[in-house]
Chain A
């Protein structure tokens, strides 16, 4: 197994000092830092393998196309897709969810139809469904959470029924850290023929994702939360479903032939990848996923569990801390308040100590409403964090208490 010190050494960003302190980066649910292999791959791609993909007959274009298309196979293997054509490259998870909302939504939804979301969704897996429901006259229904931050599964039967066409939920909550029982919900949705869309943005770097065992129909994620570059992500969808969907964005590369009267659309997945894609971003994502596989999810999960337990332990010793989200099934993110000190003030004091956390509503305002708070502090871990860094977080919180005493 690669040592933690070796892993940390692969991340140039972690070697810096912030306000005179070694950086403690605990904002990984927002975005992760990048290992040298990803940075090198991006640099090499631009320096020696860069040309536009698909349409060129020259060697450089063929090499760029091979590098780009090979990532489709790697992504398929990474999430256990049955066919690489099921992998659509997007600008990120938000773009992926908008794609499926606009295409699947337009195909399936009409008046009296329903889309089910959960109360814990990131705005990116809530607003696209609000938009398409409004457009199609469909009804948006919500599966609520309890005060621990778990889905109220006993109410699933009340909100899921014969009118449900689409169920959209997070694999892991970006605010509460709750790991949702996706398999349970997909089984329930199947009984009514509803399609299940999973927002996997918080999952892909923290646990193995097997879209077959999850039983979902679509799975979306971003590369930048999984050690890859920003501006690129994936929508996975079942091939038979993708082939029945209309295009979303239109332009070059998504068509087979065009005349002034109309166009014939390209095959899946190219039908959904209009225009020049984020070529280098995709290649960089491939490097990130290879890096994750080399570390291995056994090691990742084992180490991140140690970090989470350390956070829970250290926060538990600070009397003023109120956890927001106390599910027994938490992974990667812990939200909390520190007495009546506003989350932004906590975040700023910690920044002065070189500690990067997130403070705000984390694009989950319904979660804030549920817990009747305006904002929380969120500490979120990655494979490169250390228990010593969690100790520094605890020390920083004690310092914050002193400032506001």
Chain B
């Protein structure tokens, strides 16, 4: 079983510290927010959608390192992708977290592998994807 502190490996910490897509997006066409009622964490995203392409995306997080890292990764993955591909990525991410610990993992999500064993922190990682879904599907 993974030790909880194995979550905090260098790749995760680099993602958590990545502020390149943090902030407000002028001209955003879509906005979404997700909250974790268990801990009070909040994560909001703004994106510019030139249908069907997500041109730019920015996020702001009041949350833990896992939530920030996941948001940074998500933003980097969905930029210049279609909205459909972005939503599919979110489903894929959740499926990867639900998979057995020993199963192969999509290398894009490898930083979050330890969450397969640490269920209590999965919601931290899916918060950004919830905000994305709300932005794209909420209107």
Contact = CB atoms under 8 A, between A and B. Distances in A.
Given A361-B40, A374-B63, A352 B124 contact: no
B84 interface: no
A332 to B, nearest CB: 22
B40 A344 contact: no
Contact of B8 (A343, A345, A353): A345
Contacts, number: 57
B40 A375 contact: yes
B127 to A, nearest CB: 12
B63 A342 contact: yes
B108 interface: no
Interface in B1-35: 3-8, 13
A329 interface: no
A352 B39 contact: no
Interface string A337-361: 0000111110011011100000111
Nearest to B17: A404
Contact of B5 (A343, A352, A360, A361): A352
A359 B65 contact: no
- Tell me what chain B mostly uses at the interface: helix, strand, loop, or mixed: mixed
Interface residues of B, number: 20
A352 B1 CA distance: 11
B41 interface: yes
A19 B4 contact: yes
A360 B4 contact: no
A374 B3 contact: no
Nearest to A403: B8
Interface in A309-368: 341-345, 348-349, 351-353, 359-361, 365, 368
Nearest to A348: B4
A359 B39 contact: yes
B62 interface: yes
A374 B40 contact: yes
Contacts of A404: 8, 13, 65
25 contacts: A20-B3, A341-B65, A343-B39, A343-B64, A344-B64, A344-B121, A345-B66, A348-B4, A348-B5, A348-B8, A348-B118, A349-B4, A349-B5, A349-B8, A351-B5, A360-B38, A361-B40, A374-B40, A374-B42, A374-B62, A375-B39, A375-B41, A403-B5, A403-B8, A404-B8
Nearest to A21: B3
A318 to B, nearest CB: 18
